[in-house]
C-alpha cells in the first residue's frame, strides 16, 4: 500500500507533463497553420483575380469569381499578346539556366580550392565571399551598371557573369560547409589511381556535391528568375519576364491588373515545378550533411 501511495504522485506528474506537451504541440500546430495561410493567401488571391474582369479586380479583389465576373482565359490571352510573353519567357529562361550553371560550376571549384588548400589567400578569399553576402545591392548598383557598360556586359550574355559575382558569396558558403565533411581519403585514393586535380573534382567530388548543388541551384534560380532591378539596370530594351509584366502597369494610372495577375500566375509556375522536382534532393542533402557533420 505504501508503494502505491509513493508512485501515485509520480504518475500524476507524468500525466501532467504529457498533457502539457500535447497542449504545446497544438499551439505550435495552430501557429503553423496561421503562418501557412498568411503565406498562401496572396498566391490564391492572384490566381482568383486572374480569372476576373479588370473592373471586378479593382472593385472587389477579395471575392471569388462569379458568373458575372468570370472571364475564363481572356486575361491570359490578352497578357500574352501585350507583353510578348514567349519572347520574355525565353530571355528569362536563358539567363536563369546559364547563370545557375556558371554559378554552380565556378563556386563549387572555388569552395573545393578553399577547403583543400590551406593558405592565407584561401582564407582571405573565403572571407571576401562571406563579406559579399552582407553588402546591399543598392550600395553598388550604380557603379556596377557603369562598369558593366564599359566592359560591354550589358547584354544577355554579360549579365550571366554579373549574376555570378552576386551569387558567389552564398554558393561558396554552402559548398564550403559541405566539402569540409567529405573525407580527404577519397580524393587521395583517386589521385593514387592516376586522376589529376580536374578529373578528381569532376569524377569524385562533384557527384558527392549533387544534393548541395541542387540546393544552390534552387536558391539561385528563384532569385534570378524573379529579379527585376538588375536586368532593368543592365539589359535596357531586352526584357525579362518580370520586366515585361511591369509594362502592364501602363501610364497615367492605366493598369491592367487582371492581365498582370494572369501573367504572374504563368511566371511562378516554372519555378514551382522546378522546386517540386528537386525537393527530394534538398531533403537528401540536409540529411546527408547532418549525418556527416
- pLDDT tens digits, 218-257: 889 989 998 888 898 888 788 899 888 887 776 555 677 8
User: Residues 89-118: pLDDT tens digits?
Assistant: 999 999 999 999 999 999 999 999 998 888
Average pLDDT, the chain: 82
Question: Can you give the pLDDT at residue 1?
Answer: 46
pTM above 0.75, yes or no: yes
Residues near 239 by beta carbon (within 8 Å), at least 6 away in sequence: 83, 84, 87, 88, 91, 231, 247
| Separation of alpha carbons 100 and 252, rounded Å | 38
| CB neighbours of residue 51 within 10 Å | 22
Highest mean pLDDT among 18-27, 136-145, 167-176: 167-176
Report phi then psi at 188, rounded to 5: -65, -40
Residue 289's pLDDT is what?
A: 43
Phi first, then psi, for residue 271 (nearest 5°) are -75, -30
CB 200 within 8 A of CB 253: no
Give me the half-sphere count of Cα atoms (radius 13 Å) on the Cβ side of residue 7: 4
293 has pLDDT over 50: no
Confidence of residue 19 (pLDDT cuts 50, 70, 90): low
Amino acid at each position: 500500500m505504501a508503494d502505491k501511495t509513493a508512485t501515485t504522485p509520480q504518475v500524476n506528474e507524468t500525466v501532467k507533463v504529457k498533457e502539457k506537451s500535447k497542449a504545446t504541440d497544438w499551439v505550435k500546430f495552430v501557429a503553423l497553420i496561421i503562418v501557412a495561410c498568411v503565406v498562401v493567401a496572396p498566391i490564391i488571391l492572384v490566381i482568383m483575380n486572374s480569372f476576373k474582369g479588370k473592373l471586378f479586380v479593382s472593385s472587389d479583389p477579395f471575392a471569388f469569381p462569379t458568373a458575372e465576373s468570370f472571364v475564363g482565359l481572356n486575361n491570359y490571352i490578352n497578357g500574352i499578346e501585350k507583353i510578348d510573353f514567349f519572347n520574355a519567357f525565353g530571355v528569362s529562361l536563358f539567363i536563369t539556366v546559364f547563370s545557375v550553371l556558371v554559378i554552380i560550376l565556378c563556386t563549387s571549384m572555388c569552395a573545393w580550392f578553399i577547403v583543400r588548400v590551406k593558405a592565407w589567400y584561401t582564407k582571405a578569399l573565403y572571407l571576401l565571399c562571406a563579406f559579399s553576402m552582407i553588402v546591399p545591392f543598392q550600395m553598388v548598383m550604380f557603379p556596377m551598371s557603369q562598369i558593366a557598360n564599359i566592359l560591354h556586359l550589358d547584354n544577355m550574355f554579360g549579365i550571366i557573369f554579373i549574376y555570378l559575382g552576386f551569387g558567389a558569396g552564398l554558393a561558396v558558403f554552402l559548398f564550403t560547409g559541405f566539402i569540409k565533411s567529405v573525407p580527404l581519403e577519397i580524393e587521395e585514393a583517386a589521385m593514387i589511381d592516376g586522376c589529376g586535380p580536374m578529373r578528381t573534382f569532376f569524377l569524385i567530388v562533384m557527384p558527392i556535391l549533387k544534393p548541395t548543388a541542387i540546393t544552390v541551384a534552387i536558391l539561385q534560380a528563384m532569385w534570378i528568375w524573379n529579379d527585376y532591378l538588375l536586368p532593368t539596370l543592365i539589359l535596357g530594351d531586352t526584357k525579362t519576364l518580370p520586366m515585361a509584366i511591369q509594362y502592364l502597369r501602363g501610364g497615367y494610372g492605366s493598369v491592367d491588373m487582371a492581365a498582370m495577375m494572369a501573367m504572374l500566375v504563368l511566371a511562378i509556375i516554372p519555378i514551382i515545378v522546378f522546386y517540386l522536382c528537386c525537393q527530394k534532393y534538398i531533403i537528401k542533402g540536409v540529411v546527408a550533411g547532418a549525418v556527416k557533420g
